[in-house]
Amino acid sequence: MKKKLLLILMMITIFTTGCNKLSESEEFVQGQEKLESHQYNEALTLLSQVLNEDPDNSSARSMYMQARKMQSAQEYENNQDYIRAIRELETIVNINDGSKQIKREAINKKAELEKLQEQKEEEAIRRKENAKKVSKQENSKIKYHTSNTNKKKEDKKQNQLQVSENKKEEIKEPIKEEAIEENTKEPVINQQETINTEEKVDVNVENKVETKNIEESN
């Protein structure tokens, strides 16, 4: 009787263990399928369940890492952060176990992103060179404008000085003319005085002659 009970317990244990392994195997297969169809969140959930049941399952652990890294690489690629995406893909390439399909995809995607990164860097260099050219042209325009503005200011200043000099000359001319007129008036006055003096002398002479004649007649 005891032998029968022991046999029944052993059969129940074997049956339960077999069911658990079958269940684990199904989750593992489904996790791999989700991983290879790029459904990374579902793959992570299923593979995490496998690892909870069997922490030593290296294949499940490798595929779990592949799912996480592929998910991160995709996010970095969408943000055009190709350098970080390439690093995530390199990690996948270096994983020895896991999905071979995902490893091949990681190798191809890595090569693709490396080309995109090269193009991005070349474009950045071209933009930098173009920016330098534009900046140089703008500086030349500014220098020309500044030089032209300074020249106009200098010309305006010279014109103002010339106008000022002309006004000074215009003021001096009437003064010179007045001085000349004054100088020309003096000889006229002197001449008039001479005439008046001569007339006075003639009158005196005539008076003296008349006085003498009167005396002689007396």
| CATH number for the domain that contains residue 95 | 1.25.40
The confidence score (pLDDT) of residue 152 equals 82
Neighbouring CB atoms inside 10 A of 88's CB total 22
Q: Which of 43, 26, 38 is nearest to 77 (CA)?
A: 38
CB 61 within 8 A of CB 69: no
Q: CA dist 171 to 32, 93, 161, 179, Å? A: 107, 98, 15, 13
pTM of the model: 0.53
Tally of domains within the chain:
1
200 domain-assigned: no
Q: What is the pLDDT of residue 186?
A: 53
Domain that residue 80 falls in: 2-132
Instruction: Kindly state whether residue 185 falls inside one of the protein's structural domains.
Output: no
Which pLDDT value is given to residue 151?
A: 82
For the chain, first and last CA: distance in Å? 220
Question: Per the structure block, which two tokens stand in for 197?
Answer: 């003096």
How many CB atoms within 10 Å of residue 170?
9
Would you say residue 75 lies in a domain? yes
The number of beta carbons lying within 10 Å of the beta carbon of residue 33 is 14
In a domain, 177, yes or no: no
Q: What are phi and psi of 9, to 5 degrees?
A: -65, -40
Which tens digit of pLDDT belongs to each residue from 198-209? Answer: 666 565 656 665
Residue 123 pLDDT? 93
Ranges of residues in the chain with a pLDDT under 50 are 14-23, 189
- Any domain includes 61: yes
